[in-house]
Structure 1
C-alpha cells in the first residue's frame, strides 16, 4: 500500500517507481474506505492536487468519473457519500459526462442515510456533499440549471426521520443560491422549483409534531432567503454575487415559507 503521507511530504510528486494508473485506482479505493483516517486523510488531498495539477489526464479523469457515478449505487454509505466529492473534483478539473448528472440525480433525493457524522465511519455528509456537486453541476455550461433546482426540491421534500445537524441545510442553501446566479435562468425556472415544496408542505398538509424533513426544508429556505437578499459568495474572499431574478425569488420564498408555517 502506498504511503500517501510521504507523497504529500514530497509536494505531491508521483512516486517514480509506480504506475500512475495503479496509483489512481488505489486512491479511488481509499476514498471509499470505511476507515475515516484513510478516506478523509492524505489520499483525499493527493487526489485533489493531482486533478488540479493535471497529473491525472483527460482519459483517466473520465474513467474515474465513471467509477464514481457507478458508486452512487454502492451498498456502503461512505462510498456513496464520498462519490460526489470526487466527481466535483473531476468536474472542476474539466472532466464531464452527462451520464454523471443522471446518476447523481437518481441518487441524491433517494439517499436515506443522512447522518452528518458517525462515530465509526467519520464524516458521511450525504446532503452536504451532494449539495457541493449540485452546485458544481448547476454552474456547468452543459447542465440545465433548472434541473438542478428541481433536484434540490426533490431532496428537500424526500421524507426522512433525520434532522440535519451538521450544517447540511446551509450547504444546500448555498448550493441553490449559486445555481440561482445563472443569468440564463428564466424567472419561471428561478422560482418554479419551489412549487413542489409548496405542494408537499403547504399549511393544510403539515401535522404536528413537525416532521424532520419539513424542519430541514424550512431551515434551508430561510437561509436561501437571506442569500437572495444579500447575495452569495463564491469563497470567503470574494464579494457577494447577486441572484438572478432576486426579487422574484425572494417573493416566492416568502410565500412558500408563509404557507408552511401558517397555522
Structure 2
C-alpha cells in the first residue's frame, strides 16, 4: 500500500477502511516494521497496529500468532551495528510490548507464553549491539528504549512474579555496566526507569534485594568506577550508570504516589551515587 492509504486511516481516527479487515492488512503492517521510511514504519504502521490492538480489532488467536514471528525478528541481524537491520528488531520489541500491554488489560496469553516473551526480551536486551537513538534520514532506532518499554509491561504482568522481576533487574544492571560502546543521549535512562518503577509498584521484591541491585551498579568496577575516566569505554559505561541512577532517584523523589520501599531505595541510590561520583 502507498503511504497515502495509511495516512487516510489515521486521518479517519484509525477506523478500518471499507473493503478491508484488520486481518487482511496485518501482514503488511508487520512487514513495515522493518521499513527504512520513518513515517511508514513509526508514524503510520506502528501507530495503526497499536491502535487496532488496543481497540480489540484482532482476536486472541491472531494476537498470539503474532508473538512467534516478532520474537524471531529480535534475532534478525542481531550482533550487527550501524546497519539497517536494527529497525526490524527494535520495532518488533515495541510491538511485543504492545501485545503484553493488551494482555495486561485482558488476559489472552498463557503464563508460559509471557515467560517466553520475557526470555526473548532479556536475551535481546543483552545481545543488541546497535544502540543508536535517532538515525538521521531514517528516524528512531532506539533499541534500548523500546526494550525498556517491553520490560515495563512485563513487570506489570501478573504472570511475572518475584523471580522474573529479579531477572529484569539483573539484566538492566548487566546492560548498563557493559554499555561502554555507546553514550546514551536519547533519554534511554528515563525509559529504563519506567521499567524499574513498574517493578517497585508490584511490591514483591525485598528492600535488601533492591539495595544489592543498586550496589551491583555502583560497585560494578574496582573501587566504584574510580579509574573509569582513563578508558573511554569504561567512562561511557560509568556515565550511563550514573545518569540512570540519578534519573531513578529524581523520579522517586517527584512521583506523586511513591512505591513501596521507596525511602530505603533512595538511601541506597544516594550511597551508590557517592561511590560513582565521590567528588560531587
Same-fold call, TM cutoff 0.5 = yes
Residue by residue over 1:216-241, the C-alpha shift from the partner in whole angstroms, topping out at 9 and shown as x without a partner, is 1101101111222332xxxxxxxx23
Q: Find the aligned partners of 1:10 and 1:261 in 2 and give their Cα distance.
A: 52
| 1:180–1:244 Cα contact (<8 Å) kept | yes
Mapped pair 1:88 → 2:97: yes
Partner of 2:82: none
Task: Work out whether residues 218 and 224 of structure 2, in 8 Å CA contact, stay in contact via their aligned partners in 1.
Answer: no
The answer to whether the 8 Å contact 1:88/1:136 transfers is yes
Query: In the alignment, what sits opposite 1:74?
Result: 76
Q: In structure 2, what is the Cα distance between the partners aligned to 1:150 and 1:193?
A: 7
- Measure how far apart 1:187 and its partner are: 1.6
- CA-CA distance at 1:119 after TM superposition: 0.9
1:256 is displaced (CA, Å) by 1.7
Q: For the Cα contact (< 8 Å) 2:36–2:87, is it kept in 1?
A: yes
| Rounded Cα–Cα distance in structure 2 between residues aligned with 1:12 and 1:204 | 51
Residue in structure 2 matched with residue 152 of structure 1 by the alignment: 172
1:31-54 Cα distance to aligned partner (Å, 9 max, x none): 121211210122122101110110
Deviation at 1:172, TM superposition (A): 1.4
Q: 1:38 aligns with which of 37, 40, 43?
A: 40
Give the gaps of 5 or more residues in structure 2: 78-84
Of the three residues 233, 244, 259, the one matched with 1:243 is: 259
**Which residue is equivalent to 1:128?**
145
Matched with 1:230 is 254
For residue 253 of structure 1, what is the aligned residue in structure 2?
269
Residue among 209, 214, 219 paired with 2:238: 214
Residues in 2 aligned to 1:93 and 1:223: alpha-carbon distance in whole angstroms:
28
Q: 2:128 aligns with which of 101, 111, 125?
A: 111
Cα distance change of structure 1 residues 20 and 173 upon mapping to structure 2, 3 Å threshold: closer
Alignment equivalent of 2:186, drawn from 166, 178, 188? 166
Match of 1:236 in 2: none
In the alignment, the residues of structure 1 paired with residue 24 and residue 155 of structure 2 have an alpha-carbon distance, to the nearest angstrom, of 32
Task: Encode CA deviations 1:159-192: one digit per residue, 9 max, x unaligned.
Answer: 3332111111222123212321222222233333
Which position in structure 1 is the counterpart of 2:223? 203
Whether the 8 Å contact between 1:203 and 1:262 is mirrored in structure 2 is no
- Please give the alpha-carbon distance, in whole angstroms, between the structure 2 residues aligned to 1:189 and 1:251: 14
**Whole-angstrom distance in 2 between the partners of 1:16 and 1:204:** 61
Deviation of the 1:19 alpha carbon: 5.0
5+ residue gaps, structure 1, are 232-239
- 1:78-112 deviation line (CA, Å, top 9, x unaligned): 11111221111111111542211100000112211
Aligned counterparts of 2:194 and 2:43: Cα–Cα separation in 1: 25
Bigger shift: 45-54 or 62-71? 62-71
Instruction: Tell me the C-alpha RMSD between the 2 structures.
Output: 2.0
Superposition map of 1:5-84 within 5 A: 5-18=7-20, 20-75=22-77, 76-84=85-93
1:180 paired with 2:189, answer no
> Quick one: distance in 2 between partners of 1:192 and 1:42?
43
Partner of 1:235: none
Quick one: structure 1 residues 128 and 204, their matched pair in 2 at CA, closer, same or farther if it must change by over 3 Å?
closer
Alpha carbons of 1:201 and 1:230: their partners in 2 closer, same or farther (altered >3 Å)?
Answer: farther
